Structure 1
């Protein structure tokens, strides 16, 4: 079935980042670091090009650069597969970024089900393996010269990327597949993240140590590039795994963020009551927030603390309380039972300084101040 949803507007790009096009409604962007790896690949491949086609001179670096473009075209197919699958499952997808380490697809919501996590993760490596398989078939067709070199590079790189990404450690796709499996079996996504994160850290240590054992295993002397790439890959794997584990530990504490427990005592006043009188009554009642109501008691506005502080004391007797209140639009009224990630997402969707908390019957429970949520958020993160 065709997707008739409008594409999201294009976002402004950071300096130096290039937009190449769109796939599945997502921008494909190229960071400046890509040019560094493209030059590095061109320099590394140039000697092999010279052996296959002697006498090319400086053109061998152009051929090496073309090889880098072909390689990153395969990376783009891998990332596009993630984006298309996430889009089909109903998740918002941000930009697809090509950079020094390869590529990344920004999926802007956490997976809602283990099945979704599995499908979004596994489709990338499978795409790489399919492209690698096509490269093997082309190799059997018997190309020669630089074309043979390109086909061998295409097949080898994609098979390597497909197999590597199935290593069951975060932040690799295989880590997400393992997390989905543990999540599905235990109903605990955080446990899956911790296990896959530790495996990702082990993979990082192996990547760092690989050049030191390369000669014993393969018989070839490690080069400077082997040590450099091993260090960069290890840094990427360790950082991604550690970030995922820290996020899982924090999310385990998220249920402790309960709106009801963070609420301030609230004073309800008529919207036309002089502001000075509303403040006096709030102090007397030791209330931390003021809500304006109609004559029937229906809440209509929240007094904004910043606007209140900015109003001179001498003017407050002549101003209605409604003059410093924000209308209760959708998103500013939350259930008193809201907690955890749902609470954080609600605040993210409608940024404000204060929110009205209401009971199931619609009665006012209290005021939730963003500053109080931030403080509790920091305590949970610590």
Structure 2
């Protein structure tokens, strides 16, 4: 399934860069690989009892080959995304499969549909290839068992990912269809999100119920595993659907998150101005930021709000404003026109608590506080306008 995410996964191991996209294996992958090896090793013993302990080596090979198939599934998303000129940050192989982290949304419903469908389509093709290979080997042999298991697992991956609910590929296809019909991508996202929530409930109830219907043919431990896996999978689908909706809301409001709208009004003072006097001027005009300027009125530094709090009130008349300021590096000067993704890229390039917002002619517009940007993000993900009405006017 294709998703949009952040930076390098914690503890992730870089396995390679096919098509220039880094592929990471997260620590949770080793857990599921070990679980697959243990469960499949026990199943092999019923078909090929003569293998003994070697059955676990065969099971480990299956686990690796299965995740190789998952990687091919994700590479299908990646290749289509790159052809559509959508940047792909990375691919992750993790507990329940893989994730292709695509940084931008497809521009049209049609492109979104094919981007989502590429993964399941490749899984179906792989299943067909393994089915063809199965016809060329003898049943109840190691190659026969491996090919049958890989055929079945790829068909299961394809069918599961085609289920119509976010964050699965089928959910993105459903979103694309609703988007095409209504002409509104957000309407498609909401519909696919609710479909994902319904799907999560069905998985939560359905997996244990399916095991219970098998009755005595399934052990208590296996039924317990079904229940636990059902609960984990349902939680992943539910949270993934909610995350997709938050991301869509953020994309919808992202253009509103701009330096001009979020800039705090400021007061400009000389470096040797006592901090107490600078704060008095700030309060007098209702401003929320202090900028240090030189003799010609050009900005040279920003007074850091966090450092101001550390200066006791009785020391502020004797502390210069410049003593609690940070010099203006190139990355701390933000053009007033920056908004949306361009603004975020600028802030990521130079992390700081405050930035100076300047007009094209160098005039000081205000100070952009990182906490204000974070608050705007939180409002956007909640489906609310990230900028107060007064700022938009």
Q: Please tell me the TM-score bracket, short chain as reference.
A: 0.7 to 0.9
Say whether 1:154 aligns with 2:155.
Answer: no
Name 1:98's counterpart in structure 2: 93
Q: CA deviation at 1:131?
A: 0.8
Which structure 1 segments of 5+ residues have no match? 1-10
Structure scoring higher RCO (CA < 8 A, sep ≥ 6) equals 2
Matches of residues 117-266 of structure 1 in structure 2 within 5 Å?
A: 117-144=112-139, 145-211=141-207, 214=210, 221=217, 223-224=222-223, 225-249=225-249, 259-266=259-266
Partner SS for 1:106: strand
**Partner Cα separation in structure 1 for residue 161 and residue 98 of structure 2:** 12
Change in Cα spacing, 1:12 to 1:368, as seen in structure 2 (3 Å) is: closer
CA deviation string 1:317-341 (max 9, x = no partner): 5x8x598353262563232x66666
CA deviation string 1:19-52 (max 9, x = no partner): 3333233333333333332333233323442344
Change in Cα spacing, 1:27 to 1:220, as seen in structure 2 (3 Å) is: farther
Change in Cα spacing, 1:14 to 1:345, as seen in structure 2 (3 Å) is: closer
Q: CA deviation at 1:165?
A: 0.9
Name 2:335's counterpart in structure 1: 334
1:111 to 89, 105, 115: 105
**Partner Cα separation in structure 2 for residue 127 and residue 57 of structure 1:** 34
**Partner Cα separation in structure 1 for residue 116 and residue 41 of structure 2:** 34
Change in Cα spacing, 1:203 to 1:315, as seen in structure 2 (3 Å) is: same
Question: 1:267, 1:287 within 8 Å by CA — same for their partners in 2?
Answer: yes
**Partner Cα separation in structure 1 for residue 326 and residue 211 of structure 2:** 72
Partner SS for 2:17: strand
CA deviation string 1:304-357 (max 9, x = no partner): 33455667646645x8x598353262563232x666666555544443323334
Change in Cα spacing, 1:314 to 1:234, as seen in structure 2 (3 Å) is: closer
Q: CA deviation at 1:367?
A: 2.6
**Partner Cα separation in structure 2 for residue 197 and residue 369 of structure 1:** 33
Change in Cα spacing, 1:13 to 1:172, as seen in structure 2 (3 Å) is: closer
Q: Which moved more, 1:17-26 or 1:95-104?
A: 17-26
Partner SS for 1:200: helix
**Partner Cα separation in structure 2 for residue 90 and residue 293 of structure 1:** 44
**Partner Cα separation in structure 2 for residue 209 and residue 157 of structure 1:** 22
Q: CA deviation at 1:207?
A: 2.0
Question: 1:292, 1:322 within 8 Å by CA — same for their partners in 2?
Answer: no
**Partner Cα separation in structure 2 for residue 309 and residue 256 of structure 1:** 31
Change in Cα spacing, 1:348 to 1:181, as seen in structure 2 (3 Å) is: farther
Change in Cα spacing, 1:38 to 1:379, as seen in structure 2 (3 Å) is: closer
Question: 1:332, 1:356 within 8 Å by CA — same for their partners in 2?
Answer: yes
Change in Cα spacing, 1:339 to 1:186, as seen in structure 2 (3 Å) is: farther
Question: 2:304, 2:324 within 8 Å by CA — same for their partners in 1?
Answer: no
RMSD (Å) for aligned C-alpha atoms: 3.8
Change in Cα spacing, 1:56 to 1:343, as seen in structure 2 (3 Å) is: same
Count of residues in correspondence between the two structures: 366
TM-score (norm 1): 0.78
Q: CA deviation at 1:221?
A: 4.8
Matches of residues 59-78 of structure 1 in structure 2 within 5 Å?
A: 59-78=54-73
